[in-house]
Structure 1
Amino acid sequence: MTAAELVVRVRVRQGWSRVRAAWFPILQAALAAAISFAIARYAVGHPYPFFAPVSAWIALGFTTDRSVRRVAELAAGVAIGVALGDLLVHLIGNGPWQVAVVLFVAAILARFLDRGQMLTTQAGVQALVIVGLPALAATGGPLGRWIDAAIGGAVALAVALLTPRDPRRHLRALARTAVEDLAAVLRLLASGMRTGSAADVQDALVRGRASQPAIDEWSETATSAGELARVSPAIRKYRDEVAELGGHAVRIDRAMRNARVLARRSRSAVDAHTHDMSTIAAQVEDTARAVDELAAALGSGRDPERARTQLLALAAALDPFRVAPQDWQVQSLVLLHRSLAVDLLEAAGVDPQDARESLPEI
């Protein structure tokens, strides 16, 4: 399998994972847009309530990770942009220089009101939309389009607050995927070390790089879920586990980076064909098995006791002078493996100090 084929396979698997995670929040956002449209048309009496569904869709987005702050920022940004655009178009008309004025004023006002980038971006974009739309698109009087945007934002905020899903399920799935990717990288690396295959070592490095988006998504999702857990009564009870999964994402990110460094350094040793790498290959293979156990534990929400036991036993054997007494290049690989082992031990619940002390003194 070529490196390009490997990247494509990883990307396709991650793509289907995103679709499975996103279909329900997309459905929620679509229904919220429809409800906003119906309220603005039938309850308020606006015949063309364009900005009501636009505001709801933009504010909710298409993921389960609906930070209340993010939803509020987007909804407020749309409302501010629409109101300011309507006001300025009424005062100065529209045209090229009016576009510059409207965008400048909208962005300055948004930055004054809040630090959020999304608020500023949406305020500017919606103000530009107002400048570009013909006057006949405005319905409901001078505040009509602003009322439509406010309705959409209010519906979006209600959906974010009142219909939260258990954030642990999605986080656990992301954790399992990311940690399984790490295990796969280590298995490929071990195979390359054992057989002297530079192609396998290179494939391990390529797969490690291709897996980074999965870890990034896990970390970003944990951050958003933590913000929602602080304000939503329905999921506040999950706050501790959400925070713990976010911490694991940081540790696995470090572990993946260390695995990539180990793969890069292994390439020169494999190319030389003069090093006995059987022992370190076996250790990396053992690490991959422990990481598989860690993935299963994080994915199911149980304590990673088995992974912790395996990793502690592995760490105790990472003495570079015993693994390769006369080979400084293999010794350097063992030293890199030690850093990886500490990150994994911390991800398995071992105290950082205890994780470092589990390694042999050198």
Structure 2
Amino acid sequence: MSGAAGGSWRRAAAAAWPLLQQAAAATLAWWIARALGDHDDPFFAPVAAVVALNASRGDRGRNALRLLLGVLVGIVAGEVVLAALGGGYGSLALAVFAALVVARLLDEPRIVLAQAGAGAVLTVAVGTDSAGFYRVVDALVGAGVALLFSQLLFTPEPVALLRRAETAALDRMAAGLELTCDALERGDERLAERAMTALRAMRDGLADLARTRQASTSVIRYSIAWRFRTAPSARERENAGHLDLLGGSCLMLARTALAAGPDERALLAPALKEITAILHALAADPGDQAARQRATERVLEVVGGLNDSGLETEAAGRDAAAGLRAVAADLLVFAGVPAEYAVAAVREGAGRFEVPEPPRLPWPHRLARLRHPFHKSD
């Protein structure tokens, strides 16, 4: 199976599990709300559970609390307006506006604004004394189930959470450079445009990685289960931060390689193909020490071949070689080589490093990784 296909399967498998959790949470919330409440159709409880869990792993607990806050703000605003002015179009408009203003003053994310507005609408539109109460009960049930799932039953292990984000980012980089390599070999300008588009879109993946780094901090702070993982999580969070630089270097490499002449392109294609293979191998298991060790050795082989390739006889070739060295240095740093040693090794085109062991996952996560069909390097 190719590296690109493996990346697609990894993304599909990673997406399926949270969706199954949302479906199970919705069902459980509906059952609990029907068992507790006097109303026959507590539809908002499963809706609240799904909406609360519809966030990145590591941020779902806060999402549940934000949903609950929005519902409470909306219902209070609606009840106050109903008590003062009664029902009607004007009351609806005033209640929604007041709820949105309060939510905005609280400086909360958009989910709070949306739930505040919806809560005010339902309270005024239904116009019964029980509507707001039942909506609060449903919100409490849905948010409570979401917190049960996100903070207790399926709390993400912070290092594993970061590793998944690293895999996604590395897959995106590899896919972009793979298209770049194809464009160099075929001289296809459309492929070149697709490669640049893919690498520019990679910034979204890096933004997701940045959010995951922040979420891993929240997991440590609010989850009882993973308090003891503070040190390894901090190490992996710092390591993941190097991928920002690597992503920028990959974009620069693609631009300089595609701007080179036919002779330089022919010399660059094998090196880009090897870099792409290294990225795919790291994406398959970013936390595997052996994979990182092999990556450092292969990267240094690529850089070592630059001096004898004749690539730097022209200005465009020198620019591309500089881009290649930047990617090589950032790969070495991600693998665990100190930055000053990585830069020196890339500049000299030689070196030998024993990469340190990355933070290890707890044994249940290691076992799951061993059973994963893509844990081996490509």
TM range (shorter): 0.7 to 0.9
The 5-angstrom pairing of residues 164-203 of structure 1 reads 164-167=154-157, 168-169=159-160, 171-193=162-184, 196-203=187-194
Asked if 1:352 corresponds to 2:339, the answer is yes
Unaligned runs of 5+ in 2: 349-378
**Is the contact made by 1:219 and 1:246 (CA closer than 8 Å) also made in structure 2?**
no
Match of 1:52 in 2: 45
Aligned mate of 1:76, from 56, 69, 76: 69
Return the offset for 1:112.
4.1
Does the CA contact (< 8 Å) of 1:178 and 1:215 recur in 2? Answer: yes
| 1:223 matched residue in structure 2 | 214
TM-superposition CA deviations, 1:191-210 (whole Å, max 9, x none):
54456554554443344345
1:337 aligns with 2:329: no
Contact 1:79/1:150 (<8 A) preserved: no
Moved over 6 A (4+): none
Task: For 2:236 and 2:54, locate their aligned partners in 1 and report how far apart those are by CA, in whole Å.
Answer: 23
Percent of matched pairs sharing the same residue: 27
What SS class does the counterpart of residue 189 from structure 1 fall into? helix
Q: CA deviation at 1:307?
A: 0.9
Check 1:226–1:301 CA distance in 2 against 1; reply closer, same or farther (3 A cut).
farther
Name the structure 2 match of 1:151. Answer: 141
Cα gap change, 1:222/1:284 in structure 2, threshold over 3 Å: closer, same or farther?
A: same
Counterpart amino acid of residue 162 in structure 1: L
CA deviation string 1:110-131 (max 9, x = no partner): 3444544433342233223333
1:348 to partner: Cα distance: 1.4
Say whether the 8 Å CA contact 1:67–1:227 is kept in structure 2: no
Are the aligned partners of 1:55 and 1:149 in contact in 2 as well (CA < 8 Å)?
Answer: yes
Deviation at 1:277, TM superposition (A): 3.9
Summarize the Cα distance change of 1:25–1:83 in structure 2 as closer, same or farther, 3 Å threshold. farther
Cα distance in 2 for partners of 1:18, 1:78 equals: 33
**2:174–2:279 Cα contact (<8 Å) kept:** yes
In structure 2, C-alpha distance between the alignment counterparts of 1:87 and 1:23, rounded to whole Å: 43
> What's the TM-score, normalizing by structure 1?
0.77
Give yes or no for the alignment of 1:294 onto 2:282.
yes
Amino acid at match of 1:261: M
2:96 touches 2:121 (CA, 8 Å); kept in 1?
Answer: yes
d(CA) in 2 for partners of 1:74 and 1:217?
21
Match of 2:250 among 252, 255, 259: 259
- Whole-Å separation in 2 of the counterparts to 1:159 and 1:325: 56
Q: 1:95 to 1:190 in 2, by over 3 A?
A: same
Mapped to 1, the partners of 2:174 and 2:55 lie a distance apart of 30
Equivalent residues of 1:77, 1:122 under 8 A apart: yes
TM-score (norm 2): 0.74
- Secondary structure of 1:56's aligned partner: helix
For the Cα contact (< 8 Å) 1:222–1:242, is it kept in 2?
no
Match of 1:61 in 2: 54
Q: Which among 321, 328, 331 is matched to residue 315 of structure 2?
A: 328
| Distance verdict in 2 for CA 1:92–1:28, change over 3 Å | farther
State the aligned residue count.
Answer: 345
Q: Is the 8 A contact 2:257 2:265 kept in 1?
A: no
Matches of 2:68 and 2:59 in 1, distance apart?
A: 12
C-alpha displacement of 1:241: 4.7
Q: Does 1:283 align with 2:271?
A: yes
Aligned amino acid, residue 127 of structure 2? A
**What SS does structure 1 have at the residue aligned with 2:260?**
helix
Superposed CA offset, 1:45-100 (max 9, x none): 34443433333332222654444323212222223223332332333234443333
| In 1: Cα distance, 2:212 partner to 2:228 partner | 17
In 2, distance between residues paired with 1:316 and 1:97? 74
Tell me if structure 2 keeps the 8 A contact 1:66–1:224. Answer: yes
RMSD: 3.7
Which position in structure 2 is the counterpart of 1:32? 25
The answer as to whether partners of 2:11 and 2:168 remain within 8 angstroms in 1 is: no
**C-alpha separation in 2, matches of 1:52 and 1:87:** 24
The more displaced of 243-252 and 289-298 is: 243-252
Q: Deviations over 1:225-269 (max 9, x none)?
A: 431232112233444555555445543343233323332333332
Question: Quick check: 1:315–1:338 contact (8 Å CA) kept in 2?
Answer: yes
**Could you tell which deviates more after superposition, 323-332 or 60-69?**
60-69
Q: Are the structure 2 counterparts of residues 67 and 230 from structure 1 closer, same or farther at C-alpha, using a change threshold of 3 Å?
A: farther
Do 2:58 and 2:212's aligned partners in 1 also have CA atoms closer than 8 Å?
yes
* Contact 1:316 1:358 (8 Å CA) reproduced: no
